[in-house]
Structure 1
Amino acid sequence: MSRVCFFKGMMRKLPTVLLAAGLLLVVYLSGQPRPPPHLGDRPILPRPGFLKALFKAQLGLVTDYFWILTINRVGSARSVSDYRDVYYYADLTTDLDPRFAKVYTFAGITIPIHMGREQYANVKESSTILRKGMANTPEDKRIHFQLAYNLMFFERRYQEAAVIIEELAREPGAPEWYSGLATRLYAQAGEFETSLGLAQTLRDSAEDEETRTYYERRVNEILQERLLQQLDEALQHHKARTGQLPGSLEALVSAGDLSELPGDPLGGKLFLGDDGRAYSTATRFRLGIIYNEKTSDGERLVPKPMDAKNHESPQP
């Protein structure tokens, strides 16, 4: 009987205990944000299930608080691990509100850190939060494009990026250059048949002569890049066999690495570049992605695709 009374007494006190715990947590959370304690390489943060149960009626307020902490963590970040912490804050914030689209793009853009020589840290965390955003807010196409950007420039996974950009290109009101970028990425991935088929489809369905001419050139650029990559392979085969690169592309023929030097689909003259790759006088750049590593003072510089037709601004 006494045990039953004790149990009933504890049940009556339970709401008071929970309220006290909640008030203590509110006091803790209302203090000035400071670096959290870590367990291994990740910060110790509350479990989302616990926060949802304890602050069911104030969940929006708690979510906003952790969103502010996410921003604060960026402002105080000084190292790779500090920026990696941003992922965990953003992950918790979007667990509390999976539809909080801004968090995904903010964290996805902020987390990667340039280490120099085209090497980036925290790329996995950045792509993970962006994939989570695509799943929870599929209508926000900015998240899709940012993930494609990660795949293009950080991970070199060109085919996956091309699939995303091609899907975005089908959206109403999508920029026209999306389609051109998709063909470029497929070519970069070596998916020449896919790239060629997409470019030919865009050429044949063009509603004006200017667009048709653009994609006709893109078809020839893809054919040119396929040819140049074949020449690159012949150059590397020659180097592996002889220990050095030939003096010219013509030397590949005399050495037996090629039966003949093919013609350029764009009508240019093919030549051997200083970097040991094949090029054409018909285009300033090959059909690929050009990377700018960093500024002179070490700051991160956003890499941009560049097109031979316009050397000063990003083009597909």
Structure 2
Amino acid sequence: MSAVSRPVVALLVSLTIYGVVLGSFSDYMKLKPIEEKLGYLPSTSFLRYASADHKELVGASLVMKVIMYFGGIAEKQQANVIVQPPDYRGMSGILHGAVKLDPYNMDAYYFAQSFLTWEVKQYKIANDLLDYGMKYRSWDWMLPFFAGFNSSYFMRDYPAAATYYKRAGELSGSDLSKLLAGRYMQEAGQTELAIAYLTTMEKGERNQSVRRNYQLRLSAFKEVRKIEMARDRFKEAKGYLPTTVEQLSQGGFLSTVPLDPYGGQFYLEADGKVATTSKFAFAGAKKAAKQNAGETR
């Protein structure tokens, strides 16, 4: 090998090694687990005193802090990067503090509704916060709409749901809210209500990470509704409930077996209710997969 070619070869080898190392490092950084932190928050009393005439600004910054925190975790979860579970208690505390500083802050109520119900299952806390907001945002029809959904879909408190929906209808002039006020005194149509609710939430959400969460859950519920409608047609034709989703597909009541976007498998419970192994969460699908793997060993 000539003296001239040796440096060239060495350079090419070095560049190749550099590319391999850099590529591996980049892949590692993309998948590197992170732990988001909410940080320390002074008491609401101190913040109210310290913020003086800037309570609205401080309240808005607290809400943005929580949204950015949750959005960062949601993006990592969707990318299958392991992170610490969100600090829901801390998120709730900060949002409650934010509305004490500025009870008119729209984003605080809307975002609290999104995670206190679906993620934390603290329905009463969510409705208490919405009730607080209704005292100030007396024109905002979405607050009683959300409270009505929580009361009917989660809490099965249909008289309360009717009251909330009636108020939402009076404020918005929406025929949907007025119809829901009477309709959801009964236990029928829960999935339709969820779809109507999530559609409203998705359209009004400005944070893209949270909006994608709504879209994902909305697509899952639409698949559930397909199965429910097929189940009802099966029962009407056969006189009894089907036992499996596959039975609906094989009988021509479903063109294809709907797919759970969370990665789980839809199935029918003994009473005909449509459920999924994912429990409408990525973590639920992973847990079910591990359990199934253990059973097959």
Which TM-score band applies after superposition, normalised by the shorter structure?
A: 0.3 to 0.5
TM-score (normalizing by structure 1): 0.43
Structure with higher Rg: it is 1
